[in-house]
Amino acid sequence: MKITLKVWRQRNKSTKGQFKTYQLNHVSADMSFLEMFDVLNEDLIQKGEEPVAFDHDCREGICGACSMYINGRPHGPQQTTTCQLHMRTFKDGETITVEPWRANAFPVVKDLVVDRSAFDRIQQAGGYVSINTGGVPDANVIPIPKKIADEAFDAAACIGCGACVAACKNASAMLFTSAKISQLALLPQGKAERKERAERMVAQMDSEGFGACTNTGACEAECPKGISLTNIARMNREYFVASLSSYEIQLKGGD
Amino acid sequence: MKLDSKIPEGPLAEKWTKHKFNLKLVNPANKRKYDIIVVGTGLAGASAAATLGELGYNVKAFCFQDSPRRAHSIAAQGGINAAKNYQNDGDSVYRLFYDTIKGGDYRAREGNVYRLAEVSVNIIDQCVAQGVPFAREYGGLLANRSFGGAQVSRTFYARGQTGQQLLLGAYSALNRQIANGKVKMYSRTEMLDLVLVDGKARGIITRDLVTGNIESHSAHAVLLCTGGYGNVFFLSTNAKGSNVTASWRAHKKGALFGNPCYTQIHPTCIPVSGDHQSKLTLMSESLRNDGRVWVPKVARPGLKAKDAAAIPESERDYFLERRYPSFGNLVPRDVASRNAKNMCDEGRGVGATGLAVFLDFSDAIKRDGRSTIEAKYGNLFDMYQQITGDNPYESPMMIYPAVHYTMGGLWVDYNLMTTVPGLYALGEANFSDHGANRLGASALMQGLADGYFVIPYTIGDYLAGMPTEKISTDRPEFKEAMDRVKGTIDKLLTVKGKKSVDQFHKELGHTMWEYCGMARNDAGLRKAKTKIQEIKKEFWSNVNVLGGNNELNQELEKAMRVADFIELGELMVDDALNRSESAGGHFREESQTPDGEAQRKDDEYAYVAAWEFKGEGQQEVLHKEELRFENVKLTQRSYK
């Protein structure tokens, strides 16, 4: 296949970027999208041009590192990660435009690489159960209905790639944040801290500069792991309940 | 050098309990005076960093990925073993111990493996308490499945994403400690050297991958949780960034490298499709619970998956079921891989390249219905279809073995300490528990055992005897290491040769796979050694690394990793040459039983081979740790 690529090149955070056009003449339909970029980079190196920087690691669709915005859609035309997208999805002779994730909270590091550390900080704000190693009960002490466990799993399947943010016109991180809040709100293990968790994670999300949710559903449509919009509804409910009866507020009135 | 494994005396089942009691403790007020560096944030690293932070130590954690959550443990699919015996099918700590030591072809330490089996039950409890959504039965209790090399169902799982869920659990515990200020996290930061002061590990040199800054970090102890080195083969199931650099630099600073030739070739991976291939994708071993492996009885070159249904039952050879009636498709990985290779060597392989065998679910779908199979393996089937374009519900999968895991790694004693005082290695980075072959669902178990339940005890014993004073990074030892790192970077950037880093990596990988892969022999290994030396020489005179140091430079990162892989490759070959027996994943063609199984030579090779670095270009020196078996009888491993 012959493919024309328009790729965003940007030296670093503080310089301006621009599109550059490259021509590839020997693309195999069996290549993954990233393997096509490997070929492009080998070509560039042979020509003495600097290769395109892009994030990738497992190339199995699970680590969440890859992050290209392809023809106006995060991870391209299919609901999958970029590493699992294969060239057979494209037509011979096609022009493909590739950009980094676009969001204020995800500044560009170089070319197609962005800084997603805001996601880590949201998790650090409360995406855990406060238990130490050891001294926990036997795993089968608390039965969890299969339906609940399955639903928690569906939320837990988030890979933290950021496609939801890139897809959203408001660059909202509600789908990402709600997935963790949902998982832990559904499971008995997470119930003890569900209120502070919802409050803290939402507060952190807001402070990182992500936008608000206007229910367009683009995040769900583009999520490679099929994380459901229901999680956002659940997060809103959790947040609302928490703000009515916040644990912090009760503490102030208590001892 | 005398290698002391420090395995405690006494009956097998009491060793760990007794040892824990004998270990020195650091009192809670003193813990905050000790700094610990943890490199790598996979299952071993994240669990260790979180747990040590909880105990009160000051932890600095490092990963080269943009987030600790992306460490390659995330990609583990099938499950994690634990001797819970929830299924009432005869499992016990002793049985898990026995299966693991037998599965490793009697090349691991009894004491270590027993401890692993013992703490396996705590791991499941811990993960469930964190909110890890393991698969459950309708009654609400945990579900199990069976895995290769075992006849009981002891594998806990979370669909085909067990590694992801376990890692996110450990990552959440790590996040809690970051929020508490007990762990300082350095992402996109790569360790490039180890710093020794007075013979003890006291710090590391790192490179900030975004700015290129070379930095020094000092501590009272250093933990390497940096995974395996399967990428020495270029094509493997490892992540693209997985590398041996941290371990290798530590090796060059005095840490002995144990059993480098023990490589696991996983039987069920998606076959290579062309020269552009950048990595291989695993299809979980759990698929062998329901999938049947076969090739045509008579060679059918180029047979496609969609034409497989037309081959009548009588013309199919279900070779694993035929050769191993009691374990069938669930034989251990080394056995399954070797048999698939043999079929292809006989010319009975399928697909365009002839380097594939079928993994067929049609009987399982007929028996259990499509929806049951979908519930168990849906995501794997989707992934297969995404990559190959074939639908495994309608035609069989095609699979072929691929490099997956390395049992070798830094030599450690029972406390997980390397031969460098204060330097520890955890998880896949150490050599310890899997012998010559790792059973499925045991890697996650070992990573978490080391991080959650072993190191928090054993590190105290070392720190308790150490002064609490911090060490300055202005010391000459740090400066010298930093200069060396900068020197290497400058050298790589100034070669300005004609070949890209990937070209060298592919050449190395091809050589390793050809001569030091699934089958090895003396002549081939000698050829490989010469070839690798040539690759090394050409690399340093003809590699082309564009760009500079003071920026994000992925080619430079790769170049440093490949330089270390080349040196490691030579050591793997040396080790494979030395071990002229077959054991587990290490198959020497000169040493096989009449029916082609791996033939050990216990009189000569029942030892751990630990290699000592002697200087650039020098032959490494072999040290032997004899393996003593007091509880199991060494027999020819049989799964028939």
Name chain B contacts of A225, Cβ cutoff 8 Å.
none
CB-CB under 8 Å, B552 with A113: yes
**Distance from CA of residue B210 to its chain's centroid?**
28
> What distance in Å separates residue A189's CA from the closest CA in chain B?
6
Segment A119-125 shows an average pLDDT of 98
CB-CB under 8 Å, A116 with B278: no
Q: How confident is the model at residue A254 (pLDDT cuts 50, 70, 90)?
A: very low
Closest CA to B409 of B418, B421, B396, B401: B418
Note which residues in 66-95 of chain A have CB less than 8 A from chain B. 80, 84, 86, 88
Q: What is the CATH number of domain B477-607?
A: 1.20.58.100
Is the pLDDT score of A251 beyond 60?
no
Which regions of chain B carry the CATH code 3.50.50.60? Answer: 12-262+407-463
By CB atoms closer than 10 A (0-12, 13-18, 19+), residue B92 is middle
b/e string for A237-253 if b means 16 or more Cβ within 10 A? ebbeebeeeeeeeeeee
Name chain A contacts of B122, Cβ cutoff 8 Å.
134
Segment A58-83 shows an average pLDDT of 97
Return the pLDDT at B159: 87
Return the pLDDT at B636: 87
Q: Under 8 Å CB-to-CB from A233, ≥6 apart: which residues?
A: none
Give the SS3 label for residue B617. coil
Query: How many Å is the maximal CA-CA distance in chain A?
Result: 73
Return the pLDDT at B285: 84
Q: Under 8 Å CB-to-CB from B552, ≥6 apart: which residues?
A: A12, A53, A109, A110, A113, B209, B210
Q: Distance between CA B481 and CA B143 in Å, rounded?
A: 50
Q: What is the number of CB-based contacts under 8 A between chain A and chain B? A: 213
Topology of domain A117-253, CATH:
Fumarate Reductase Iron-sulfur Protein; Chain B, domain 2 (1.10.1060)
Is the pLDDT score of B382 beyond 80?
yes
**Distance from CA of residue B82 to its chain's centroid?**
18
Segment A82-97 shows an average pLDDT of 97
Amino acid at B142: L
Q: Under 8 Å CB-to-CB from A163, ≥6 apart: which residues?
A: A67, A74, A75, A101, A219, A222, A223, A224
Contact assessment for residue A30 and residue B274, using Cβ atoms and an 8 Å cutoff: yes
Name chain A contacts of B554, Cβ cutoff 8 Å.
51, 53
Q: Distance between CA B326 and CA A77 in Å, rounded?
A: 47
Residues B84-143 pLDDT 10s: 999 999 999 999 999 999 999 999 999 999 999 999 999 999 999 999 999 999 999 999
Segment B628-634 shows an average pLDDT of 96
Name chain B contacts of A183, Cβ cutoff 8 Å.
131, 133
Amino acid at B111: G
Segment B593-620 shows an average pLDDT of 96
Across the interface, of A57, A86, A130, the residue whose CB is closest to B239 is: A57
Cα angle B294, B298, B304; round to 5: 60
Nearest CA in chain A to B137: A146
Q: How confident is the model at residue B638 (pLDDT cuts 50, 70, 90)?
A: confident
Residues A158-197 pLDDT 10s: 999 999 999 999 999 999 999 999 999 999 999 999 999 9
Which regions of chain B carry the CATH code 3.90.700.10? Answer: 267-404
Percent with pLDDT over 90 in chain B: 94
CATH class of domain segment(s) B267-404: alpha beta
Return the pLDDT at B592: 95
Nearest CA in chain A to B181: A124
Q: How confident is the model at residue A255 (pLDDT cuts 50, 70, 90)?
A: very low
Q: Distance between CA B166 and CA B176 in Å, rounded?
A: 16
Pair of tokens at residue A255: 């001892």
Residue among B88, B127, B130, B496 with most chain A CBs within 10 A, to mutate: B130
Residue recorded with tokens 């609490």 = B468
Kindly report the length of chain A: 255
Contact assessment for residue B76 and residue B405, using Cβ atoms and an 8 Å cutoff: no
Give the SS3 label for residue B138. coil
CB-CB under 8 Å, B66 with A189: no
Contact assessment for residue B154 and residue B90, using Cβ atoms and an 8 Å cutoff: no
Return the pLDDT at B147: 85
Q: Under 8 Å CB-to-CB from B605, ≥6 apart: which residues?
A: B579, B580, B581, B583
Return the pLDDT at B16: 98
Is the pLDDT score of B448 beyond 50?
yes
Closest CA to B602 of B591, B590, B589: B591
Is the pLDDT score of A246 beyond 90?
no
Amino acid at B230: G
Residues A144-159 pLDDT 10s: 999 999 999 999 999 9
CB-CB under 8 Å, A133 with B453: yes
Residue recorded with tokens 């040459």 = B577
Is the pLDDT score of A248 beyond 60?
no
Give the SS3 label for residue B62. strand
Amino acid at B551: E
Contact assessment for residue B406 and residue B264, using Cβ atoms and an 8 Å cutoff: yes
Contact assessment for residue A3 and residue A76, using Cβ atoms and an 8 Å cutoff: no
Is the pLDDT score of B289 beyond 70?
yes
* Pairing mode of beta strands B316-317, B423-425: unpaired
Q: How confident is the model at residue A247 (pLDDT cuts 50, 70, 90)?
A: low
CB-CB under 8 Å, A57 with B240: yes
Residue among A34, A39, A57 with most chain B CBs within 10 A, to mutate: A57
Nearest CA in chain A to B241: A57
Architecture of the structural domain at B12-262+407-463: 3-Layer(bba) Sandwich (3.50)
Note which residues in 9-48 of chain A have CB less than 8 A from chain B. 11-12, 28, 30-32, 34-36, 38-39, 42, 45-46, 48
Percent with pLDDT over 70 in chain B: 100
Residue recorded with tokens 């040892």 = B19
Q: In the sheet where B357-360 sits, what is the strand order?
A: B263-269, B397-406, B357-360, B292-296, B316-317
Contact assessment for residue B377 and residue B419, using Cβ atoms and an 8 Å cutoff: no
Give the SS3 label for residue B573. helix
Which regions of chain A carry the CATH code 1.10.1060.10? Answer: 117-253
* Beta partners for residue A32, in sequence order: A86
Nearest CA in chain A to B449: A133
Whether B333 is a known active-site residue: answer yes
Amino acid at B54: E
End-to-end CA distance of chain B: give it in Å, rounded. 41
Return the pLDDT at B639: 87
Closest CA to B219 of B413, B46, B426, B466: B466
Segment B255-262 shows an average pLDDT of 98
Architecture of the structural domain at A3-110: Roll (3.10)
Return the pLDDT at B578: 98
Per DSSP, the residues of B537-551 read HHHHHHB---S-SSS
CB-CB under 8 Å, B51 with A45: no
Note which residues in 160-219 of chain A have CB less than 8 A from chain B. 160, 183-184, 187, 189-190
Is the pLDDT score of B183 beyond 90?
yes
Q: Is the dihedral of CA A225, A228, A232, A235 positive or negative?
A: negative
CB-CB under 8 Å, A187 with B131: yes
pTM, two decimals, is 0.97
Contact assessment for residue A107 and residue A115, using Cβ atoms and an 8 Å cutoff: yes
DSSP H or E run through B102 = helix B93-103
Q: Distance between CA B123 and CA A74 in Å, rounded?
A: 37
Which regions of chain B carry the CATH code 1.20.58.100? Answer: 477-607
Give the SS3 label for residue A178. helix
Q: Which of B69, B292, B333, B338 is catalytic?
A: B333
User: How much is the mean pLDDT over chain B?
Assistant: 96
Contact assessment for residue B3 and residue B438, using Cβ atoms and an 8 Å cutoff: no
Name chain A contacts of B67, Cβ cutoff 8 Å.
64, 116-117, 119-120, 160
By CB atoms closer than 10 A (0-12, 13-18, 19+), residue A18 is exposed
CB-CB under 8 Å, A51 with B554: yes
CB-CB under 8 Å, A48 with B546: yes
Residues B407-416 pLDDT 10s: 999 999 999 9
Pair of tokens at residue A98: 């590739």
Return the pLDDT at B35: 98
Contact assessment for residue B136 and residue B143, using Cβ atoms and an 8 Å cutoff: yes
Give φ, ψ of B209 to 5 degrees: -75, -15
Residues B313-358 pLDDT 10s: 999 999 999 999 999 999 999 999 999 999 999 999 999 999 999 9
Nearest CA in chain A to B128: A139
Identify the residue with better confidence: B77 or A205: A205
* Dihedral of the alpha carbons of B227, B228, B233, B238, in degrees to the nearest 10: -40
Segment A103-115 shows an average pLDDT of 98
Is the pLDDT score of A253 beyond 60?
no
Pair of tokens at residue B304: 């496609």
Segment B270-278 shows an average pLDDT of 92
Residues B188-223 pLDDT 10s: 999 999 999 999 999 999 999 999 999 999 999 999
Return the pLDDT at B402: 96
Name chain B contacts of A62, Cβ cutoff 8 Å.
74-75, 161, 163-164
Segment B70-76 shows an average pLDDT of 97
Q: What is the 8-class DSSP label of residue B211? A: T
Strand locations in B567-620 (E): 607-612
* Pairing mode of beta strands B183-186, B58-62: parallel
Query: How many Å is the maximal CA-CA distance in chain B?
Result: 75
Q: Is the dihedral of CA B414, B416, B418, B419 positive or negative?
A: negative
Closest CA to B571 of B624, B627, B525: B525
Residue among A31, A43, A62, A101 with most chain B CBs within 10 A, to mutate: A62
* Dihedral of the alpha carbons of A83, A86, A90, A95, in degrees to the nearest 10: 40
Return the pLDDT at A227: 98
